[in-house]
Amino acid sequence: MLEINNQYTFIKRQVQTEVLKAFFADGFEQKIDAIPFAIIPKERISSRCCIYKERAMVRYRIMAMMGVDIPSEDDELKSLGAFAASQKGRSLQGEPVLTTIPTACSACPKERYFVSAACRQCIARPCLTNCPKTCITFDQGQAEIDEECCIRCGKCMGVCPFGAIVHVPVPCESACPVDAVHKNEHGYVELDKEKCISCGKCAANCPFGAIVERSEMMEIALYLKEEVPTVALIAPSIEGQFPGTLSQISKALLEAGFSAVLEVAQGAETTSYHEAEELLQKKEFMTTSCCPAYTALVDKHLPQLSGHLSTALSPMAYTGQQARQKYPQAKNVFIGPCLAKRSEAAHLAEIDAVMTFSELAALFLAKDIDVREMEECEEEQKQSWTDCRQFALSGGVAACVNRRSDQKELRVHSVDGLDKKTVRVLSSWEKRPIAADLVEVMCCEGGCINGPGVVVKPQIARKFRQDRQ
Amino acid sequence: MVTQKIMVRICMGTACFVQGGADLLLYGDFLDSELQQRIEVEGVSCLGCCKEHQRGLRPPYVQIGEQLHAEVDQTKFILLIKEALDA
């Protein structure tokens, strides 16, 4: 996985922060076209071919931030100000959650193994002996892999005594658990909307930032600017993403303009009870249903598992219902680490918009809010749902269900992270059901604290959480 | 010989924390234990550096002794501490 602190993350956050700052000030539609120039000044040493392309990329990132689906809606002659006007008030909910910036794509060549100059031209040639297709040739002793017949098994790389054979993957394609990322006839990235489960792994792994989310940030910023009552529904994984305690994070959200804050751990308790009860009626294994990328996987790719999927709604959905009861006039904004939640929220009347922690970080920066300086709440009262904050961690969902189950010795199996391999394992369960009662499925390895929209590395999030395991 | 420990202040302002500063708080894992004994680390409120943002400099900021440093990542952190201790 791409290291979270990288130049792309920094520039993306800078773009979001500057756009929000301009939005909260006056004359946004007149000023927005100047932002790419302010972020990429003339004297900058470009990390792409030139500053002009960098500016164009900033423009596309701003369009994605406004929710534009770039391949289908790009109009190079249309100004950002005009996009801001036409996107305003447009409901963005639904697919595609992810969009691409074809001109940002580096058109990476097909995944390959290749022999580097470190080859010592040895006479043992274990690469050749161990190649199942015998497709290594030698030019004056120097090994070469025949691309045409190579099946990309990687055996040669493992046996080379000099470590001379390297694997060059295509990061977006190898990160996708369902083969929804491919290249068009010109070699640029394209997403297959029919296959995509909106997990966001491709976007998190592309080192060129060519796959981006269609954000709902500007819609949320509009609620805040126009002082529309807006409830922040904070995912259990928020603890540890910002300096300071949970109560300080809540205070910071109120400071940013939200009218109330609800913890989604509350809804997670309802999910846990529902799943504990449902388990009693299951003859075979039951899988959890809180991860929207996994439910999309079942829907689109593994319909044979649909009978095993819990019918419990997600914590976000239950908390959304609670928020509607408590604040019937308010907008509900889910704040989490997840991109797939956007796709789930599109089908839920109780959720009006979704934002990621990473976007929230930009909002705090734009509004100059320092979380750690917020007043701290006096001693927190333990609630019946406090333990459900563990929904953010692998193993945590199953633990919460287990605690609420009457069944003794619940057999739990955890699927910690979806990739091509785990998807194959899941698909084999139709013929050979797994010997477990409850299967917890997390699309992101380690749980939601490793989602595509997080701010800090999972190790750090864990360090700052009360419930660290 | 008793030497004075060097004060290391890691900025915990939101801007620093979300732009890589959080990584430095894992110093217990990535810094030599011998070096750790010679420094006193403190997470501090926003040092205010981001506000008087100079072009080209960006968070996270760290203050080692009296000296302020920008764009500190784990590798740079180790290097700066070694330098400060040798000085």
Measured between CB atoms, does A182 come within 8 Å of chain B? no
Q: Under an 8 Å CB criterion, which residues of B touch A? A: 12-15, 17-20, 22-23, 25-26, 29, 43, 45-46, 58, 73
Residue with the larger pLDDT of the pair A453 and B51: A453
Complex ipTM > 0.85: yes
So what's the pLDDT on residue B46? Answer: 84
Residue found by looking up tokens 């680490």 in the block: A337
pLDDT band at B85 (very low <50, low <70, confident <90, very high): confident
3-state secondary structure of B38: coil
Sorted by where each starts, the structural domains of chain A and their CATH numbers stand as 7-107+172-214 (3.30.70.20), 112-168 (3.30.70.20), 219-377+384-468 (3.40.50)
Mutate to test the interface with A, among B10, B16, B18 (most CBs of A within 10 A): B18
Window 5-44 of A: residues touching B by CB (8 A cutoff) are 5, 10, 13
Q: What is the pLDDT along chain A (469 residues), one digit of tens a residue?
A: 788 888 899 899 999 999 999 999 989 999 999 999 999 999 888 888 899 999 999 999 999 999 999 988 899 999 999 999 998 877 776 668 999 999 999 999 999 999 999 999 999 999 999 999 999 999 998 999 999 999 999 999 999 999 999 999 999 999 999 999 999 999 999 999 999 999 999 999 999 999 999 999 999 999 999 999 999 999 999 999 999 899 999 999 999 999 999 999 999 999 999 999 999 988 899 999 999 999 999 999 999 999 999 999 999 999 999 999 999 999 999 999 999 999 999 999 999 999 999 999 999 999 999 999 998 877 778 899 999 999 999 999 999 999 999 877 889 999 999 999 999 999 999 999 999 999 999 999 999 999 999 999 999 999 888 765 4
So what's the pLDDT on residue A65? Answer: 94
Contacts 24+ apart (CB under 8 A), A417-421: A417/A442, A417/A443, A417/A444, A417/A445, A417/A446, A418/A177, A418/A199, A418/A293, A418/A294, A418/A297, A418/A442, A418/A443, A419/A175, A419/A177, A420/A176, A420/A177, A420/A179
- What is the rounded distance in angstroms from the CA atom of residue A37 to the CA atom of residue A56? 10
Size of interface A-B (CB pairs under 8 A): 56
Token representation of residue A221: 């910023």
CB contact under 8 A, B26 and A460: yes
Residue pair A418/A292 in contact by the 8 Å Cβ criterion: no
So what's the pLDDT on residue A309? Answer: 96
Measured between CB atoms, does A60 come within 8 Å of chain B? no
Helix (H), strand (E), coil (C) string for A162-223? CCCEEEECCHHHHHCCCCCEEECCCCCEEECCCCCCCCCHHHHHCCCCCEEECCCHHHHHHH
Residue pair A363/A221 in contact by the 8 Å Cβ criterion: yes
Identify which of B13, B23, B58 has the shortest CB distance to residue A457: B23
- Model's pTM, two decimal places? 0.93
CB contact under 8 A, B18 and A455: yes
Identify which of B14, B25, B26 has the shortest CB distance to residue A370: B14
pLDDT exceeds 70 at position B2: no
So what's the pLDDT on residue A469? Answer: 45
Cis peptide, bond prior to residue A171, ω within 30 of zero: no
